[in-house]
Structure 1
Amino acid sequence: MHGNLRTRDVPPCTSPGGGPGRTHDPRPSPPQGCRAERRRGPAARAVLTHALETLGCPRVIAEIDETNRASIAVATGLGLRRFATVQGRLGPLLRYTT
């Protein structure tokens, strides 16, 4: 199966029960201080490898909220390159590609 794999960046939790910007994310909030929310690099690498090698996608595109520095660091750490800025529903999104 070929095609584009698209990921949507989800803003981090702002309070234990959710908060501004969390209404679109159905996942329960992790406990405050939980490192699991900050360690997405290994999972992102696995998704990238699966898309490129197993599915044979020619490229992967990630759209990341311009204020989400942690996700930008993960994307650049994986070797993705920024190629565009587009307007999202909640503000500017940075596009990165393989």
Structure 2
Amino acid sequence: MTISHSFLRSVVLSIFLSFIAPILLTITIFISLLIVGCFPGVTALTLTSTNHIKQFLAVFGNGCPLQGLLVISITCSLVGALFDTYAFYRYQTMRGN
């Protein structure tokens, strides 16, 4: 039973992309809140929003938002790998191999 190179490449790529996606999403949210915070009148709203996001991430990171973001990213990468493995398995069984 050999594992094909295309399967390994696919799993590694899905792990990498699933790990990077939550990080990029969080960075995008923080940057957009930073830009919106430059407008007068919404500074308090953006500060409150960033504090809530940091508290949410701190729940998963044992008090540290960065660790929470890493935990969420690692979990997403595991789910991405499992989904890719399932899709490969379904493709093989549907094909008849």
TM (norm. structure 2) is 0.29
Q: Which has the higher helix share?
A: 2
Q: Which one has more relative contact order, counting CA pairs under 8 Å at least 6 apart?
A: 2
Q: Which has the higher strand share?
A: 1
Which protein has the larger Cα radius of gyration, Structure 1 or Structure 2?
2
TM (norm. structure 1) is 0.29
